[in-house]
């Protein structure tokens, strides 16, 4: 694994996630990778784990109120919007500017915690996909494409308070 263990100046998103994990007394501090992992495959390669163990964050825009909807699913799965709509109502696509404004993170580093939405934006709605429970250990983005942290799927659900649902394509 190619990771930097020393802690120097880190980007704001990474620092927010680090603080959120510390406050939650999570057993594993976020790690800083030597290479950016903007995609699930890049993260899996950098960590030496299977693609499915990457807890990727997929962001949608709820049409009724423009709230961000964040689905955390396995890197080897695709979200089926039709399965998500009963939980959220109609959804639209979220572009990079929307994601940054509504979560405080850039695409490629969207963490399931440590959000910093714009002042006029609500906290994102979160959902954890049940497919993550195929694995004992999963890895999520830690607020920056170079940041990751590990946990179990049950720890992810507990850390986020998000409901666990089935939202992936068959």
For range 23-30, the mean pLDDT: 96
Gyration radius from the chain CA atoms: 15
**Confidence grade of residue 1 (pLDDT, cut at 50, 70, 90):** very low
CATH code for position 14: 3.90.960.10
In a domain, 83, yes or no: yes
Which pLDDT score, from 0 to 100, does residue 122 have? 87
Tokens of 61: 């825009």
Neighbouring CB atoms inside 10 A of 135's CB total 17
**Confidence grade of residue 8 (pLDDT, cut at 50, 70, 90):** low
Total number of domains in the chain? 1
Tokens of 57: 């964050």
Q: Does the pLDDT of residue 145 top 60, yes or no?
A: yes
CB 77 within 8 A of CB 131: yes
In a domain, 110, yes or no: yes
**Confidence grade of residue 170 (pLDDT, cut at 50, 70, 90):** confident
**Which is nearest to 91 in space by CA: 19, 167, 12?**
167
In a domain, 142, yes or no: yes
In a domain, 12, yes or no: yes
In the 8-state DSSP scheme, what is residue 9?
S
CA pair distance 6, 42, nearest whole angstrom: 22
- pLDDT single digits (tens) 32-69: 999 999 999 999 999 999 999 999 999 999 999 999 99
Angle at 107 between CA 160 and CA 64, to 5 degrees: 65
Q: Which domain holds residue 94?
A: 3-165
In a domain, 116, yes or no: yes
In a domain, 137, yes or no: yes
Which pLDDT score, from 0 to 100, does residue 129 have? 97
In a domain, 133, yes or no: yes
In a domain, 170, yes or no: no
Helix (H, G, I), strand (E, B) or coil at 68: strand
Q: Does the pLDDT of residue 26 top 60, yes or no?
A: yes
Tokens of 118: 């714009």
- pLDDT single digits (tens) 78-133: 999 999 999 999 999 999 999 999 999 999 999 999 999 989 888 899 999 999 99
CA pair distance 110, 137, nearest whole angstrom: 19
């Amino acid at each position: 694994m190619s990771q930097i263990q020393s802690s120097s100046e880190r980007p704001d998103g990474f620092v927010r996630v680090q603080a959120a994990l510390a406050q939650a007394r999570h057993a594993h501090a976020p790690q800083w990778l030597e290479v950016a992992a903007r995609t699930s495959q890049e993260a899996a390669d950098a960590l030496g784990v299977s693609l499915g163990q990457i807890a990727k964050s997929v962001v949608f825009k709820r049409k009724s109120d423009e709230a961000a909807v964040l689905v955390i699913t396995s890197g080897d799965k695709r979200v089926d919007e039709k399965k998500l709509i009963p939980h959220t109502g109609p959804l639209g696509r979220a572009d990079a500017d929307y994601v940054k404004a509504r979560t405080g993170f850039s695409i490629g580093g969207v963490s399931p915690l440590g959000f910093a939405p714009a002042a006029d934006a609500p906290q994102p709605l979160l959902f954890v996909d049940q497919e993550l429970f195929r694995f004992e250990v999963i890895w999520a983005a830690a607020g920056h494409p170079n940041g990751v942290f590990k946990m179990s799927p049950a720890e992810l659900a507990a850390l986020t308070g998000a409901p666990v649902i089935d939202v992936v394509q068959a």
